[in-house]
Structure 1
Amino acid sequence: MTSSTVPAALAEIRDDFLALPQKERLTLLLEFSNELPELPERYQEHPDLFERVVECQSPVYIFVEIDDDDSVHLYATAPRESPTTRGFASILAQGLDGLSVDEVLAIPDDYPQSIGLTEAVSPLRIRGMTALLARTKRQIRARRGDAASAG
């Protein structure tokens, strides 16, 4: 994976994890789980807009919004009782926020494997984060396709 395709916010998150000893990486993941942004009010009453990420062991739902200026915003819900999954969702929600569609689509699919958690959490959980990123990209492509065909 080349660093040049990883946006600055995600590169910084990755570097923060890699700078820590293995045991402390879970603590940082827990901090991210506590920082998962709340849903904007306009989406709180619309669970129908959110897609379940079935690859995650916990019930995680995501929705991608693309602004008029092509900025991406990822919104996610995950139960507090699932700090690992919630932490992964928070990393992506914070790391992708405000990036352009092209920047998000250029993020390497193996980014979740690059942040130094493969020894700390199960491969199943890493697959869940990989699926979160893949579904985010798929939603972006679908929305961009809709916009392109509508124009």
Structure 2
Amino acid sequence: MTDALPESLAEIRDEFLELPESDRLQLLLEFSQELPPVPPEYENHPELYERVAECQSPVFIVIDVDEDDIVGMHATAPAEAPTTRGFASILAQGITGLSADEVLAIPADFPQSIGLTRVVSPLRISGMTGMLMRAKRQVAAKRPASRPTA
């Protein structure tokens, strides 16, 4: 069910689904090269990040929720793990700028919906699902106290 999918993630999903399955891995590798850099305030502070244990590669994420309930997702993933880095990039680009409610409404099966389940291992899809679940949990924990959770 992808009814609640925000436009940013729906566009990314559609970009993958419009390609033949054989070309989707290349698009994922392109995303891996577009992982946004972390803001300076996080650069030398690994203690602020959460490790995504579901990923074999060392992937770390941190979520910001500002006073207007707008989310920023930052991630680090090694260049030598391009599929994992690509998934982190998809989520960082797709989630950043959304409202907390929009992030919390992202379907848990989003990673399965982008057409990569036959070109990357189930373990990698599980890693992306772990990234999404941790991002959603951080959003729920970090949103301004005056806002009810969805």
TM-score, with normalisation over the residues of structure 1?
A: 0.94
Separation in structure 1 between the aligned mates of residue 79 and residue 106 of structure 2, nearest angstrom: 27
Question: Share of identical aligned residues, percent?
Answer: 65
- In the other structure, the counterpart of 1:105 is 104
Separation in structure 2 between the aligned mates of residue 140 and residue 39 of structure 1, nearest angstrom: 17
Deviation at residue 9 of structure 1 after TM alignment: 0.7
Question: SS of the residue aligned with 1:73?
Answer: strand
Separation in structure 1 between the aligned mates of residue 91 and residue 108 of structure 2, nearest angstrom: 12
Separation in structure 1 between the aligned mates of residue 52 and residue 63 of structure 2, nearest angstrom: 13
Separation in structure 1 between the aligned mates of residue 109 and residue 115 of structure 2, nearest angstrom: 12
Return structure 1 stretches of 4+ with deviation > 3 angstroms: none
TM-score, with normalisation over the residues of structure 2?
A: 0.95
User: 1:40-64 deviations in whole A, cap 9, x for unaligned?
Assistant: 1111021100000010010000000
Question: SS of the residue aligned with 1:76?
Answer: strand
Residue 26, structure 1, aligned to residue 25, structure 2: yes
Deviation at residue 67 of structure 1 after TM alignment: 1.1
Flag structure 1 segments of 5+ consecutive residues without an equivalent: none
Separation in structure 1 between the aligned mates of residue 22 and residue 80 of structure 2, nearest angstrom: 20
Question: SS of the residue aligned with 1:68?
Answer: coil
Count of aligned residue pairs for this structure pair: 147
Deviation at residue 23 of structure 1 after TM alignment: 1.2
Question: SS of the residue aligned with 1:147?
Answer: coil
Residue 54, structure 1, aligned to residue 53, structure 2: yes
- In the other structure, the counterpart of 1:133 is 132
Deviation at residue 148 of structure 1 after TM alignment: 4.6
Letter in 2 for 1:147: A
User: 1:20-79 deviations in whole A, cap 9, x for unaligned?
Assistant: 011110000000000000011111021100000010010000000011111000000000
Flag structure 2 segments of 5+ consecutive residues without an equivalent: none
Decide which structure has greater helix share: 1
User: 1:77-125 deviations in whole A, cap 9, x for unaligned?
Assistant: 0000000000000000000110000000000000000000000000000
Q: How does 1:67-146 map to 2 (within 5 A)?
A: 67-144=66-143
